[in-house]
Structure 1
């Protein structure tokens, strides 16, 4: 990389290494260290590498200087600091200890400079959010696959432990579930586990009342971090049009049970008459 330095009326051309890629995870689990890597390359005519520095927010936390002994140094270890650092003339990787405060956003900067007399400098910055993100999609239970028109279906969507816990929203045929105005959010949250992580779940009672033959459902779990982290699961319910006996017992009402009893008595009487008639024919 070529850098123009202006001193009065003189223009001095200084060259610096190029940072080809900066690896910083978007989310970091505070239970483990986060691995960061800075890749850089020199072009023809560039001065030798002078140093590679890592900054956490505005504080230097690590330095690699190949012409000095020792070649690496760590700084500001009380704020978390660096637990490991391995660098060479083309890359510099470090492991940083993260704070236990969830949804903390941290900037990490890699700065590469070449030898003097002008020490040309280039840098890149990326951000990491402290969070234990969902490791798998949410799970939908209660969807048997086939339902009857007019039937009530009880569904549930649940997530694996995470932090911060996820908020869950149901979508029916692409539209959010309708809730009462006072019901801001009915996502349930578990107690923290041994690591402080919490699971989320949200039930939904669905009345099958649609002319469509298929109901598309989606459960979307979103963690309130910056940027938001979302995982979702899709499933479908097939709406059967032919009635079956379970319709008489779906509501559990006394009238339904009476209808079922009359139907069973009628069937029993019909079978009994048919049997007596068959016996008389054989005599």
Structure 2
């Protein structure tokens, strides 16, 4: 049998002492080797260092839309300790729904959990596919990786996923007119596109958020898929102060004052909005009307004075009326005289 000497890094084990020393006889050799091996592992650096099991990355989408398909990923590193993978487990809200055990046949095992529909065509040691997400698919998803003896290590990481139904269109505005007069009542509604969670609505008058006294609140209503529609009404009396001087780029040419109403629907921090504008139909005060009326009267008087034909016609009519009155008076006096005689 060939006898091998200890490595050059341990010179005290070389030579005839290696065979004659009592520590190398019997079980003592195993104790020494165990101590030397432990010290080497604890003090080694560089390529001799031993790394343990690590969970490198967990990929769970923060949000996913209703009826979508998603893939959950859990990548890990067993290190260089020689540990053997025992299993990879996936949980939803502390309920196990998928397990990968490489030593089992088959290695994949599924468990029924509400809201989880596993795609059997998209399974691997580091990923699991889910299909046809439902509202109850929302929750915390956890990956758990374990190794076998002698280390028996376990690493765990979790992340939350929310199933949403975002709005598809801008909010709808109804009930408003294109022009108003001071004293009129403005009344209309803003209705969000259906979504889940429900969109929050707000009204703005000339850029300022409307106070609660100008708002009309409605209860939201769901559709057959569980998507919610919300509605918020606006109701207030028109005052001249509501209308601002129209900008040069106004969509109403010739308008002096314009009112801007804006409805904003916000879904998970993402706004959608609809803007409408109305003009002030009548001047906001009588002061704006008086100059036009005075100017019209002065214009008519000047026109009559400047036309000789019109003056002659007036005099002629006056003369005719005077003669008619004189004749009538004479006739009445004659009748009285005849009757008295």
TM over 0.5: yes
Q: Find the counterpart in structure 2 of residue 94 from structure 1.
A: 129
Q: Is the 8 A contact 2:175 2:189 kept in 1?
A: yes
- Name stretches of at least 5 consecutive residues in structure 2 with no aligned partner: 1-38, 43-49, 248-258, 308-341
Write out aligned runs for 1:109-148 (5 A): 109-140=142-173
CA distances 1:124-144 after superposition (whole Å, capped 9, x unpaired): 211234543434443456789
Of 263, 271, 277, the match for 1:232: 271
Q: 2:225 aligns with which of 183, 187, 195?
A: 195
CA distance in 2, matches of 1:24, 1:197: 21
Is 2:49 aligned against 1:16?
no
Q: What are the equivalent positions in structure 2 for 1:8-87 lying under 5 Å apart?
A: 15-26=52-63, 29=66, 32=67, 35-42=70-77, 45=80, 47-77=83-113, 79-85=114-120, 86-87=122-123
| Contact preservation (8 Å) 2:194, 2:228 | yes
Residue 177 of structure 1: which of 169, 194, 210 is its match? 210
- Deviation of the 1:62 alpha carbon: 0.8
TM-score, normalised on structure 2?
0.50
Note the C-alpha offset of 1:231: 3.6
Deviation at 1:222, TM superposition (A): 5.0
Aligned match of 2:199:
166
Q: Secondary structure at the match of 2:156?
A: strand
- Runs (5+) with no aligned partner, structure 1: 1-9, 224-228, 251-258, 278-283
Query: Residues 93 and 141 of structure 2 are in contact (CA less than 8 Å); yes or no, is this contact kept in structure 1?
Result: yes
**Higher relative helix content:** 2
TM-fit CA distance, 1:164: 4.7
1:203-214 equivalences under 5 Å are 203-205=233-235, 207=238, 209=241, 213=245
Whether contact under 8 Å (2:164, 2:197) holds in the other structure is yes
Shift of 1:119: 3.1
Q: Is the 8 A contact 1:105 1:129 kept in 2?
A: yes
Q: Which has the higher contact order (CA 8 A, sep 6+)?
A: 1
Aligned length: 233
**Native 8 Å contact 1:75 1:81 kept in 2:** no
Q: Distance in 1 between matches of 2:205 and 2:143?
A: 46
Instruction: Label 1:196 to 1:56 Cα distance change in 2 as closer, same or farther (>3 A).
Output: closer
Kindly name which structure, 1 or 2, has the bigger radius of gyration based on alpha carbons.
Answer: 2
Could you say what secondary structure the match of 2:282 adopts? helix
- Using the size of structure 1 for normalisation, the TM-score is 0.58
Task: Pick the structure with more strand per residue.
Answer: 1
The CA deviation at 1:152 is: 6.5
